[in-house]
């Protein structure tokens, strides 16, 4: 069974900031002088965070193929057209591209500096203080015009776009699943500010039922750093982390996260109340109702 989807999001950013570091070559001569051989950097930020500072749009695209356990040529999920039956899958494969788009701030709400200089001795650097009115103009005296840099639209930031491929395998009785996921971030580019999504490879075994779900993801963050996480769902509430060792062990810290998800599920179509709804690929034909059996009284 093939499925495809599209999602459009509207963003109302509160604040933004970023820096593109193209080339920085320096030598710390002593505790009072830093010699910059090359310094090519663009930086921006919004000094006055507030609601609805800017606007933006995002787009998600996805495609999924599912190999069903039962007949699926006339399958209508959660519909009386299919006898209100649940047809589980043996495996499913998905490919998606996420967070295509950007956000944009008003030009008068953005402070920007573009630098491209070399052979500069920064003396008494330990005593330097950033300008409270413009934190990015620290080296303004080295540039004729800090408003001219590589970035053409300093008030625009791209979303952390990434490509994802997933395989989900029903290992046992529609209760035990194994998931494999690949995520590849797409860099924003040289002439635009934006966050790059982290790359990862992961394998996640999980137990799943209507009211309880537990999973343990094993992943390679940036294809280099091994990580283990854990997630637990009780009814509509999910709590988890992809970086469990960051919270419980004394190790090198590359990142940490925790997430909470609350949703109100609708387990069946109201039109299907009172009808037979077996799971795990059972097939009794459209419109079949559960019949009372006196032998089980």
pLDDT, one tens digit per residue, over 138-174 is 898 888 888 889 998 999 999 999 999 999 999 999 9
Domain containing 159 equals: 2-14+51-109+153-210+267-296
* Cβ atoms of 91 and 16 closer than 8 Å: no
Nearest-Å Rg of the Cα atoms of the chain is 27
All residues at 6 or more sequence positions from 288 whose CB lies less than 8 Å from its CB, including other chains? 83, 275, 276
181 belongs to a structural domain? yes
pLDDT at position 253? 67
Q: Structurally, how many domains does the chain consist of?
A: 1
Nearest to 244 by CA among 219, 223, 227, 259: 227
pLDDT at position 71? 75
Question: How big, in percent rounded to 5, are the helix, strand and coil portions of the chain?
Answer: 10, 45, 45
Strands 193-194 and 156-158 come out as parallel
77 belongs to a structural domain? yes
205 belongs to a structural domain? yes
Residue 246 DSSP code: H
258 belongs to a structural domain? no
130 belongs to a structural domain? no
Sheet containing strand 33-45, strands side by side: 17-28, 33-45, 111-123
All residues at 6 or more sequence positions from 144 whose CB lies less than 8 Å from its CB, including other chains? none
In the chain, which ranges are E strands?
A: 2-11, 17-28, 33-45, 55-68, 89-104, 111-123, 156-158, 162-172, 176-185, 193-194, 200-208, 212-215, 218-221, 225-228, 230-234, 237-241, 259-262
97 belongs to a structural domain? yes
Strands 111-123 and 176-185 come out as unpaired
SS3 141: helix
Q: How far is CA 259 from CA 19, 229, 230, 262, in A?
A: 27, 11, 11, 10
- pTM summary value: 0.80
Q: Compute the distance between CA of residue 297 and CA of residue 292 in angstroms, rounded to an integer.
A: 9
SS3 271: helix
Identify the segments of the chain with pLDDT beneath 50.
Answer: 276-297
Structure tokens at 261: 């998800």
Of the chain, the end-to-end C-alpha distance in Å amounts to 40
Q: Compute the distance between CA of residue 109 and CA of residue 48 in angstroms, rounded to an integer.
A: 7
Question: Which residues does residue 230 pair with via DSSP β-bridges, in sequence order?
Answer: 241
Nearest to 207 by CA among 173, 182, 235: 173
* Cβ atoms of 277 and 86 closer than 8 Å: yes
126 belongs to a structural domain? no
Q: Which residue has the tokens 């019949």?
A: 291
57 belongs to a structural domain? yes
pLDDT at position 114? 95
């Amino acid at each position: 069974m093939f499925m495809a989807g599209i999602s459009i999001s509207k963003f109302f950013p509160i604040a933004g900031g970023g820096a593109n570091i193209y080339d920085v070559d320096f030598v710390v001569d002593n505790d009072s002088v830093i010699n910059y051989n090359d310094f090519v950097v663009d930086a921006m930020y919004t000094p006055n965070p507030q609601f609805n500072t800017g606007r933006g749009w995002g787009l998600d695209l996805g495609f999924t193929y599912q190999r069903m356990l039962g007949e699926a040529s006339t399958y209508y999920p959660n519909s009386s057209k299919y006898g209100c039956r649940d047809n589980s899958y043996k495996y499913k494969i998905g490919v998606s591209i996420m967070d295509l788009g950007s956000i944009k701030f008003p030009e008068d709400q953005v402070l920007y500096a573009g630098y491209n200089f070399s052979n500069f001795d920064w003396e008494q650097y330990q005593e330097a203080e950033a300008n409270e009115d413009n934190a990015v103009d620290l080296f303004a005296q080295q540039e004729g015009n800090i408003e001219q840099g590589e970035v053409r639209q300093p008030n625009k930031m791209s979303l952390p776009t990434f490509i994802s491929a997933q395989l989900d395998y029903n290992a046992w009785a529609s209760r035990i699943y194994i998931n494999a996921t690949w995520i590849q971030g797409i860099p924003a580019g040289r002439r635009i500010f934006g966050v790059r999504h982290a790359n990862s490879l992961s394998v996640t075994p999980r137990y799943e039922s209507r009211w309880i779900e537990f999973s343990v993801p094993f992943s390679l963050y940036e294809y280099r750093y091994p990580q283990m996480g854990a997630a637990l769902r009780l009814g509509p509430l999910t709590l988890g982390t992809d970086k469990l060792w960051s919270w419980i062990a004394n190790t090198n810290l590359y990142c940490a996260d925790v997430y909470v998800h609350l949703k109100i599920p609708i387990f069946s179509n109201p039109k299907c109340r009172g009808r037979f709804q077996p799971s795990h690929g059972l097939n009794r034909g459209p419109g079949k109702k559960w019949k009372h059996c006196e032998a089980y009284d």
